[in-house]
Amino acid sequence: MAAFPACQPPAPPLSRFCARALAFLAALLAVACGPGISHADDQTAAYHWQSVTVGAGGFAPDIVFSTAEPGLAYLRTDMGGAYRWDDKQGTWIALQDSMPTSSYMGIESLAADPIDPDRVYVATGMYRGYDAAMLRSDDRGGTWEIFPVPYRMGGNEDGRGLGERLAIDPDNRDRLYFGSRHDGLLVSEDRGEHWTRVESFPHKGVGVPPHGKATNAGLSFVLFGERTPDGIRPIFVGVADRGAEGLYRSDDGGASWQPAGGPQAPLFPAQAAAGTDGYLYVTWVTSPGPNGVKAGAVWRLAPDTGAWTDITPTKGPNLPPGGYMAISTDRQHAGTVVVASMNRWKPGDSIWRSTDHGDTWTDVRPFSKRDVSATPYLNWGNAEADFGWWIAGLAIDPFKSGHVAYTTGATVYATDALDTADGSAPLLWKPWIDGIEQTAIITLRSLPEGPVLLSGFGDLSGFAHTDLSRSPIHQFTNPVFANTNVIDYAGANPALIVRSGTPGHRSPDGSPVLAWSADHGLSWQPLHVPAVPYTRQGGKAATQQPDLSGNSAIAVSADGDSFIVASDHAIVSHDRGQSWRATSGLPAGSRPVADRTDATLWYAMHFASGRVLVSTDGGDSFKLLPTKGLPSSLKEDRPTWREQPWPLMAAPGRTGELWYFSAANERLYRSTDGGLSFRAQGGRIAIKALAFGKAAQGQPLLTLFALADRGDGLAIWRSTDGGASWLRLNDARHQYGRRFRTIEGDMRTFGRVYVGTDGRGILLGDSADAPE
């Protein structure tokens, strides 16, 4: 058992994905947790940390209102930890930023004590191959006791949008039940410290699937019903495993279990909600989601007769694909229930409300309006924001019937007027996300002029940030990428920006995966690259086909006139994409880097020999230099994933100055002669990402920032003397699961650093000792 503090309320704001992805993250975690070189003289700098505001941005599988106190709610996310709503401050507070264990940021389930508003439990574990634990707090997530468990979880796996698997016995609050994915029904009699299997439960689980196989949905929820007139408190458990689908019920405190009826396979129970009058409402689906739900239903169980009734809002032939998942009841008005569709892509998902136990329904989508002025990216370049997709969380405030919230794949919407909505006037929804930053950041660029920051996101394309305390109004569009993987700017002409990324989720085949901007990233033009002929080594003719997947990085020359696309065989344009030709002299898969001041100079790394290739003709041709000072082979350093930081970098404002970080050799190297020679800087340091920032006063060298391991796990570091010494910037309260992906220094403000995380958005760090 271990105790960890949560982060404090955020400081006042300024003025505030695929197998290779998982493999790369696993490599980072190995560095974060593995052995390293101890540096007793390392110090931690005084830094202020906060979030760059975007506003939510990721999938939050559920929202849970406390029944013990008005104005108290919790949000669980799939890769950014848990949040608590602080009603007095009017903000969500991240509860796990002090935890160093990455896996604990993936929340499988959350349970708030029904009587004690201070007590809350969280089941954590991001993937079945990662660590899992039960967390317990008696101060609303301010601090945590951590109890590691051997039961594998899947907070970011399929099925994360099913119901709450963790439940507190309202009649004995020391007893908790947990519906696991792989090990059946578990029970704890000591407030989550120890767990055993409930042997009387019919489904024992099917075990953890082997690597490469789909995960198990397991038990989809555990729910305590209302006490019946004869004193029985039913417990309901849904089973979502194929071949064992069904709903089970216990009327004797879990001693015995019986099938509770309902629809038959292929449908299985997804979520359930109990009314104060004893009615049970259950959604049924064909897939655990959040994708792949083709059909579904909503059924009601009557407490007096035990009869089931199909109350699905939309019935009949020719229904669009999709099912139902999120469901909630009104604690103030028996018979009032809301339910949401899942994966009904056309005409789009919706929410229905009933005030007569589901006999009749009102679809609220047709008269709903969304005010997303606080988070304009939700418009996605359209005139109006979408109602939402992946609606897995839906909750009616138990103390305020009109206050209803639902979670989506990108935000949390809420309204205060659902109880009076009848279609006669628009129903207004607003993002309820102040304090939530739950996104995966791939790349960052700080410019010496123009917007403060450019960011490349997973799923959200990217942004030009002109005010770090507000959600940006300039999203990367024309085209909208799903992921922006690379951003580069012209060193001597910073208004000229290029980016590459993967096609948008709803983009047609053949959509562009490259773009350029002449106004610091505020507006964009797509780049269309044709097939380009080239000559293979040995003289054989070949053709480089255009990359439509977004795997190829793009870079821009110092003057902004030339682009190089690092396709399998690199191609170059000297007229900003109007025409293209093949480069020569580069090994397959090379990624050229532009000198930051001289437009004729480009560099590339020859990993096999530990030497640099240079172009002196603007990127048309490259030759291998007799590089000295690097290891004879750097094959282990070669990135294998398009989102992985590139180890060869050119320093801003300095002709011929190159830096190379070797994670395999735990060394940082610097060249001042264009790659002819390198010198190791300082001692051993296993850098995973490096960035430049404004030089310290009186220092000739740019400030260096790094995501690196110096013996105590992955951390954020700064050097003002070229890597001879390092200061650690994040302390024990600012660990963020060590889910650090990319880093960038600010070129205008000394000491300022931006860190892109995998689930907690963009972190902004400012030095407490920076000069005014």
Catalytic machinery residues: 78, 459
Q: What is the DSSP letter of 434?
A: T
Do the Cβ atoms of 173 and 167 come closer than 8 Å?
no
Terminal alpha carbon distance of the chain: 44
The three-class DSSP label of residue 220 is strand
Residues 212-248: b if buried by 16+ CB within 10 A, e if exposed: eeebbbbbbbbbbbbeeeeeebbbbbbbbbeebbbbb
Longest alpha-carbon distance in the chain: 88
Quote the CA–CA distance of 706 and 689 in Å, as a whole number: 6
Could you tell me which residues are beta bridge partners of residue 145? Answer: 3, 136
Give the containing element (helix H, strand E) for 21.
helix 19-33
The count of C-alpha atoms lying within 13 angstroms of the C-alpha of 617, restricted to the half-sphere facing its C-beta, is 8
Amino acid at 293: V
> What is each CA distance from 749 to 77, 474, 696, in whole angstroms?
33, 22, 10
Q: Which two tokens stand for residue 226?
A: 């209302």
Quote the CA–CA distance of 513 and 504 in Å, as a whole number: 9
Quote the CA–CA distance of 573 and 297 in Å, as a whole number: 55
Q: Which two tokens stand for residue 32?
A: 């974060």
Could you tell me which residues are beta bridge partners of residue 285? Answer: 268, 296
Quote the CA–CA distance of 132 and 106 in Å, as a whole number: 9
Do the Cβ atoms of 558 and 595 come closer than 8 Å?
yes
Return the residue matching tokens 């993987």.
485
Q: Which two tokens stand for residue 350?
A: 């919706």
Do the Cβ atoms of 727 and 715 come closer than 8 Å?
no
Do the Cβ atoms of 465 and 764 come closer than 8 Å?
no
Quote the CA–CA distance of 663 and 140 in Å, as a whole number: 40
Q: What is the dihedral of CA 402, 408, 412, 417, to 10 degrees?
A: -20
Q: What is the DSSP letter of 56?
A: B
- The answer for 589, left when phi > 0, alpha when psi is -120 to 50, beta otherwise, is left
Do the Cβ atoms of 289 and 162 come closer than 8 Å?
yes
* Among 349, 317, 351, CA closest to 336: 351
> What is each CA distance from 128 to 17, 208, 209, in whole angstroms?
16, 7, 9
Amino acid at 336: T
Return the residue matching tokens 């959509």.
511
Per-residue H/E/C for 341-409: EECCCCCCCCEEEECCCCCCCEECHHHEEECCCCCHHHHCCCCCCCCCCCCCCEEECCCCCCCEEEECC
Do the Cβ atoms of 426 and 369 come closer than 8 Å?
yes
Do the Cβ atoms of 663 and 43 come closer than 8 Å?
no
Do the Cβ atoms of 528 and 488 come closer than 8 Å?
no
The three-class DSSP label of residue 27 is helix
Q: 365 φ, ψ to 5°?
A: -60, -45
